Amino acid sequence: MDLDGDYDVDNIFAKIVRGEMPAAKVFEDHDTMAFMDAFPQGKGHTLVIHKRSHARNLLDMDPADLAPVILTTQRLARAIRAALNPDGIVITQYNGRASGQTIYHTHFHLIPRWAGVPLGRHAQGMADPAELRELAEAIAAEIS
């Protein structure tokens, strides 16, 4: 069962936090970071992480670390709504391989949805980096 295990300090999100891997960053504060999913399920798919937590999934996460992540998730959902005007926003979080988790650093997905537009598959198909930067800038401009 992969709900348990050691945190990999070299996972892709840890590398993004350290500046070792690029990301279309939307928001960053002392505790959290939000950036565009490089393999989006839809236009505007954004991820929110805690920058220093070594929790692999929600079950491992310290409540003190979870609180700022949830607040940033709400803040980003509001900014996505203002920037992209979706009909809805899916907010999801995966725990373990069987759930669909592919990166073992606790993170939340914010996926804007429009009526009649199908949702893409999780972690399938890399997006155009220039388009991700444009979306990141549009969403960031709406953060209050």
List the catalytic residues: 107
CB atoms within 10 A of CB 5: 12
DSSP letter (8 states) at residue 46: E
CA 25 to the chain's CA centroid: 10
Q: Which amino acid is at 68?
A: P
Residues written for the chain = 144
Question: Please, which residues have CB within 8 angstroms of residue 81's CB and are 6 or more apart in sequence?
Answer: 89, 112
Measured torsion, CA atoms of residues 51, 53, 54, 60, in degrees rounded to the nearest 10: -140
